[in-house]
Structure 1
Amino acid sequence: MTNATSALRTSVTIDELVASAQELSLAGRWPRALRLLDSAVPDDPADRARLARAAAEVALESDWFTGSDIAGPRLETAAELLPEGDWDLGFAQLRHTYGRLLVVDGALRLGPEGKDPEVLAGLRRQARDLRDGAPDEVRGGWTSMYLGLITDNLFADLAAAPAHYTAALAAGESGPDPLLAREALRHLGMHDHDGGNHERALERWRRATALGAGAGLVAGTLSQQLLLAVVARATGDEAGARALATEVARWAGAVGAGRLHTQASGFLDGTDPTAAPPVREEPVGQHVGGEAGGQPGV
């Protein structure tokens, strides 16, 4: 693999290049990660396809946290280079479709209202097929995670979703994949919080925060800290809640996580970021139910 942006030719393995871009993405350096991937010009078509897929995955993260809209073209490019049926591309496409279905008329809308039932059913079938055909336990766990998100946030079947998150947690812990375990704990804690079990939610959310930080997930760790502020407010510690949310807002603004900055600022104004948004009134990015894919997702 050579770097074509300089007269000085350097060599790096494809594994190291992709891993470096992924770590930059976790750190919230999405433009830098994309520039790194775009700067490489491998001779092997399989390597070019792998880099295109990695770039699409970085673009998905950027879209979620910053509100950019760059993943679509990246996914199309990857699809042209990868063999039909590539599992990882299929999962990235699933994530992209899920994110787009959260929005109706430019606003976040949870549940099935205003959405084509056949499209929703097709997405759930796709998730089940990916889970059943996953090449390993961890990737199967990620599709279980998305089955939970689809069930929760697109079908509004709140009773059925936790079983998918529990399966994802088991895969993340036995894999091990700390980001998958973090994501599952985040959403299981959301159901605890909604059910009034703040002690259990706090336990899960504290663990999720530590797992995200340990994996280098900058914006996701900040969003997790905002959930800790939610628990503080719910249990009567308003001063602690405001102190934590103030720092989350400050840090989110500094790293360019615009959606999270809006959420934290709304929390300081009295908005519960875990509440379902009012229909057609709340702009995208006001719900912090969780991320998925390490990664964004309500």
Structure 2
Amino acid sequence: MTTLTNEIVAAARELSNGGRWQRALALLDAMDRDGSIALAAAEVALEQDWWVGTDTAGERLDEAERAGAQGWSLDFLRMRNDYLRLIHPPGETFQPGPWGKDSDAILAVERGAELLLQTAPGPLEAGWAEMYLGLIADNLRADRESAPPHYEAALAAATGDDLLAREALRHLGDHDHDHGDHALALDRWRRATALGAGVGKVTGTLSQQLLLAVLARDAGDEAGAAALATEIQRWANALGATRVRDNAAAFLAGVDPTAAPEEAAA
């Protein structure tokens, strides 16, 4: 990529982190289309789909491939998109609970992540593949015992990538919380919150703060938990981050966002 293309892609990613997905896409779409620009647009579209519930990344990924994008980065985004469509099917809102719905699709995503781990061009990319293997174990297979080693491997590989470190700490803290170690969960979740804020990940910081509200509720501070969740809901609504908004609303209604989907539904 040229220096200008590098800077445009970096700026688009920062806009995307700030929840300005349409502005990021407008910036990329104003550039001469090549594989790297089209791939960055697919990444932004995937982020928007994750937080807003839209369904645009698939088309953008096809455009990126037609524009010449290929290799590990394209395959990684396709795997992420497949994972998203399983955990949040288009049109559904608060944690639909895909466990066991489509075992063939889950197996395909898992095999894709394993191949990405085997073919990773470097340790950081391998760390992201490990992260998704953990997420697949946790959120698609309900295999809570298998996930933490993947998160630990992701955290070990996260040198220089605060977003990967944030993701690993967030999910390791979830397991600490499940095991009743709220002090360690608090430490990891605070660190994850700070890392997300440090790289301008507004939506991720809001979702992370909701986990801090969970710990406040666990500690008996319902007023503090509700106050924090109310502000999270307000901010997320203003940003258009509907999934965070809906999770905060569910929390205020008494739902534990750390519960398994079938438990949350009950």
**TM-score when normalising by structure 1:** 0.84
Determine the structure 2 residue equivalent to 1:97.
Answer: 82
Which amino acid in structure 2 is aligned with residue 128 of structure 1?
E
Is the CA contact (8 Å cut-off) linking 2:166 and 2:191 kept in structure 1?
yes
Match of 1:88 among 50, 69, 73: 73
Q: How does 1:22-61 map to 2 (within 5 A)?
A: 22-41=13-32, 48-61=34-47
Matches within 5 A, 1:101-180: 101-103=86-88, 107=92, 108-110=95-97, 112-115=99-102, 117-172=103-158, 175-180=159-164
Query: How do residues 189-228 of structure 1 correspond to structure 2 at under 5 angstroms?
Result: 189-228=173-212
- Larger-gyration structure (1/2): 1
| Equivalent pairs, count | 264
The alignment-based identity, stated in percent, is 55
1:58-77 matches, within 5 Å, as 58-77=44-63
Q: Distance in 2 between matches of 1:80 and 1:155?
A: 33
Counterparts of 1:199 and 1:133 in 2: how far apart (Å)?
A: 37
Asked if 2 retains the 8 angstrom alpha-carbon contact of 1:249 and 1:265, the reply is yes
What 5-or-longer segments of structure 2 have no aligned partner?
Answer: none
Q: Post-superposition, which runs of at least 4 consecutive aligned residues in structure 1 deviate over 3 A?
A: 103-112, 278-282
For structure 1, list consecutive stretches of 5 or more residues without a partner in the other structure.
Answer: 2-10, 43-47, 283-298
- Indicate if the aligned counterparts of 1:124 and 1:150 stay in contact, CA closer than 8 A: yes
Match for residue 240 of structure 1 among 210, 221, 224: 224
Task: Tell me if structure 2 keeps the 8 A contact 1:111–1:155.
Answer: no
Q: Deviations over 1:16-61 (max 9, x none)?
A: 010000000000000000000000125xxxxx11111000000000
Choose between structure 1 and 2 for higher RCO, CA contacts under 8 A separated by at least 6 residues: 1
| Counterpart code for 2:262 | P
- By percentage of residues, which structure has more helix? 2
The offset of 1:161, in angstroms, is 0.3
Displacement of 1:78: 0.9
TM-score of the superposed pair, with normalisation by structure 2:
0.93
Q: In 2, are the aligned partners of 1:109 and 1:279 still within 8 Å (CA)?
A: no
- Structure 1 residues 29 and 83: CA distance shift in structure 2, 3 A: closer
Task: State the Cα distance separating 1:186 from its structure 2 match.
Answer: 0.2
For residue 255 of structure 2, give the secondary structure of its aligned residue in structure 1: coil
| Aligned AA (2:86) | L
- Say what the alpha-carbon RMSD is for the aligned residues: 2.1
User: 1:104, 1:114 within 8 Å by CA — same for their partners in 2?
Assistant: no
| CA positional deviation for 1:119 | 2.7
Q: How does 1:180-191 map to 2 (within 5 A)?
A: 180-191=164-175
Q: How far apart, CA to CA, are the structure 1 residues paired with 2:152 and 2:3?
A: 39
**Is the 2:257–2:264 contact (alpha carbons within 8 Å) kept by the matching residues of 1?**
no
Q: Distance in 2 between matches of 1:270 and 1:225?
A: 16
Distance 1:104 1:73, change over 3 A: closer
1:233 deviates by: 0.3
- Deviations along 1:48-102, one digit per CA (max 9) or x if unpaired, are 1111100000000000111111111001111222355x11000000000001112
Q: Partner letter of residue 33 of structure 1?
A: A
**Residues 180 and 281 of structure 1, relative CA distance in 2, 3 Å threshold:** same
Whether the aligned pair in 2 keeps the contact of 1:110 and 1:156 (CA below 8 Å) is no
The change in CA–CA distance for 1:119 and 1:258 in structure 2 (over 3 A counts) is: closer
